[in-house]
Structure 1
Amino acid sequence: MHRHRPDPPDSAQQLLVTLGQLVDQALERIKFQRARVELAMALQRHMLPPGLPELPGLHLAARYTPSRDGLDVGGDWYDAFVMKDGSLALAIGDVQGHDVEAIAFMGQVRTSLRAVAEATSDTREVLSRANDVLISMGCGLFATCCFLRFDPVSRDLTVSRAGHVPMVWATSGGDSGVALDRGGPPLGIVPGERYPVTRRRLTEAGVLVLLTDGVVEGPGYPIEAGLDEVAKLVRAGFDADPEVLASAVVKVADLTGHRDDAAVLVVRYDGPPGPG
């Protein structure tokens, strides 16, 4: 007696089943990616300051763009706050890596730097003490940083760098350039490191632009070329609103072909008050 064997499934029906399975898998990946992006954005929002301080004669603006690789966030950060003596502290930095560990370390760097800056008005001590704190944590990561302190009364500006990209400046007189201040190694590497400080007095209206290497460096695009491009942009757009200027500067990254995250902090100084 011969048993009846079922006919093989229709090829069209089999194709539809396969396509349905692929669609389900694609939808799951989309849901996972959406959750991943939302998590990344939430982490980054909480690690960056919710706002920037407002002081007479000073106007600040900042921008951050995420990395195109990894978790879509990285270790770039900025900060600005008024210290107890009324001076303005400005900081920008870049932490090694593009993952959750880098985000956590970035939070530690920013918190440590702010805590140290609140405890001392000596710019020479800020990066040195923050470096010692980070090394004592034993995280095994490092971070570059540029820290500035501006006294609105004396108009003195002090700058200290730890392996970070130099700032770009322009003045109302039409001058602009890259501030090649002396610096030391990144934070978290050399115990007991003493970071040099450069002092200036701002005697006329000007713009300072702090940024990370993701803005000015990319594959086959040297950092010097990127900094020169920003200097030209800042000189040409000197009279622009800081918000507009910050958006324009961060877009320089499009020229570099970079895949890193990028941060920009723009400071406009109206100049010393007139007589009377």
Structure 2
Amino acid sequence: MPRERLPDDGDELLARLGSLTAQARRRAQVQRSQVELALALQRGMLPRDLPTAPGLHLAVRYTPANLGLNVGGDWYDAFTLPDGRIGLSIGDVQGHNIEAAAAMGQVRAGLRALASVTGDPGELLARTNDLLLSLGSELFATCTFLRLDPATGSLESARAGHIPSVWATADGKSGVVHDEGGPPLGIERGVEYPVTRHRLSTGGVVVLLTDGVVEGPELTVEDGLDQVVRLAGIAAVAGLEARALAAAVIKGAEGVGHEDDAAVLVVGLDGPGTPL
């Protein structure tokens, strides 16, 4: 009597493995498409050109996080205000996904639009905060906004929950900008943001950055800021170009072990002024 043929367990296992592999490939393709979309959003919303003025030196570096779906909402911006002064902003929207990248564009566009009404850094952040709350988004953003007069070196800044900036002068002084600041944008209504006033010296620099540059598993934010202070001090004394300093700072960000965006905006000035 012929024996009944049992199912081929090997063939069944291979078929299941093939199905699982196909599913994993499809998920990877979807994930890759989402990452590419978020990165395209980031690139499209960041400025292509930086403003120019006699004696003004601006340089930026931006490294997006693209591990898995870990695409953040860091941004930088620089533009000419209606009165001829220069507006400078840097910030970070909470979250690491397409929504964060899209919200970054909203905040940056809102800052630019409201800057045509008021260039005062504190009032501008307060209005942007109200705008973000009115949109009903659950995301919040940290931000620093500076207003610079290249003709005099006058520099005004306000900060909304963002990490402080770094400064250095050509005579060898450097440090972290100490200002009061306020809460992140999009959390609380009716917030006032104090304005801190400085004067950018001839040959001096100010470095604006996001936390991905100075904070991560391998480095505390304090140590990361100290590292940028040292780089800025060396660059100012040596008279290095703003773009060389920006490149050095973003290179240092590779050592923090982060999976976040990293953005750097360096501001330098040749002209009248006394140290920060």
User: Which TM-score applies when normalising by structure 1?
Assistant: 0.87
Amino acid at match of 1:199: R
Aligned to 1:54, which of 47, 52, 55? 52
Residue in 1 that maps onto 2:272: 272
Given that residues 212 and 262 in structure 1 are in contact (C-alpha distance below 8 angstroms), is that contact kept between their aligned partners in structure 2? Answer: yes
How far the C-alpha of 1:266 sits from its partner, in A, is 1.0
Residue in 2 that maps onto 1:248: 248
Aligned to 2:232, which of 221, 234, 239? 234
Residue in 2 that maps onto 1:204: 202
Amino acid at match of 2:120: D
RMSD over equivalenced CA pairs, Å: 2.5
Higher Rg of the two aligned structures: 1
Rounded Cα–Cα distance in structure 2 between residues aligned with 1:203 and 1:269: 7
- Structure 1 residues 179-210: Cα deviation after superposition (integer angstroms, max 9, x where no partner): 11120111111211111001112242211110
The change in CA–CA distance for 1:70 and 1:181 in structure 2 (over 3 A counts) is farther
Rounded Cα–Cα distance in structure 2 between residues aligned with 1:65 and 1:55: 26
The change in CA–CA distance for 1:183 and 1:210 in structure 2 (over 3 A counts) is same
Secondary structure of 2:116's match? helix
Given that residues 35 and 68 in structure 2 are in contact (C-alpha distance below 8 angstroms), is that contact kept between their aligned partners in structure 1? Answer: no
How far the C-alpha of 1:32 sits from its partner, in A, is 3.8
How far the C-alpha of 1:95 sits from its partner, in A, is 0.9
How far the C-alpha of 1:47 sits from its partner, in A, is 1.9
Rounded Cα–Cα distance in structure 1 between residues aligned with 2:12 and 2:188: 64
Residue in 1 that maps onto 2:155: 157
How far the C-alpha of 1:34 sits from its partner, in A, is 4.0
How far the C-alpha of 1:122 sits from its partner, in A, is 2.5
Residue in 1 that maps onto 2:104: 106
Correspondence 1:23-172 to 2 at 5 A:
28=26, 31-69=29-67, 71-172=69-170
Amino acid at match of 2:75: W
The change in CA–CA distance for 1:114 and 1:16 in structure 2 (over 3 A counts) is same
Rounded Cα–Cα distance in structure 1 between residues aligned with 2:243 and 2:13: 54
Secondary structure of 1:252's match? helix
The change in CA–CA distance for 1:209 and 1:4 in structure 2 (over 3 A counts) is same
Given that residues 31 and 68 in structure 2 are in contact (C-alpha distance below 8 angstroms), is that contact kept between their aligned partners in structure 1? Answer: no
Given that residues 35 and 66 in structure 2 are in contact (C-alpha distance below 8 angstroms), is that contact kept between their aligned partners in structure 1? Answer: no
Amino acid at match of 2:123: E
Rounded Cα–Cα distance in structure 2 between residues aligned with 1:55 and 1:144: 28
How far the C-alpha of 1:14 sits from its partner, in A, is 7.7
The change in CA–CA distance for 1:202 and 1:244 in structure 2 (over 3 A counts) is closer
- Structure 1 residues 246-275: Cα deviation after superposition (integer angstroms, max 9, x where no partner): 1221222222222221111111212339xx
Rounded Cα–Cα distance in structure 2 between residues aligned with 1:236 and 1:70: 36
Task: Quote the sequence identity (%).
Answer: 58
Residue in 1 that maps onto 2:223: 225
Rounded Cα–Cα distance in structure 2 between residues aligned with 1:60 and 1:142: 27
- Structure 1 residues 63-114: Cα deviation after superposition (integer angstroms, max 9, x where no partner): 2222255524211111100011110000001111111221222111111111
- Structure 1 residues 125-184: Cα deviation after superposition (integer angstroms, max 9, x where no partner): 111111111112221221111000001223211011111111111111121111111201
The change in CA–CA distance for 1:187 and 1:18 in structure 2 (over 3 A counts) is closer
Amino acid at match of 1:251: K
Secondary structure of 1:98's match? coil
Rounded Cα–Cα distance in structure 1 between residues aligned with 2:49 and 2:141: 23
Rounded Cα–Cα distance in structure 1 between residues aligned with 2:80 and 2:262: 24
How far the C-alpha of 1:7 sits from its partner, in A, is 8.4
Rounded Cα–Cα distance in structure 2 between residues aligned with 1:95 and 1:19: 40
Which one is further off, 30-39 or 49-58?
30-39
Rounded Cα–Cα distance in structure 1 between residues aligned with 2:36 and 2:200: 42
Unaligned regions of 5+ residues in structure 2, if any? none
Correspondence 1:1-20 to 2 at 5 A:
2=1
Q: How many residues align?
A: 271
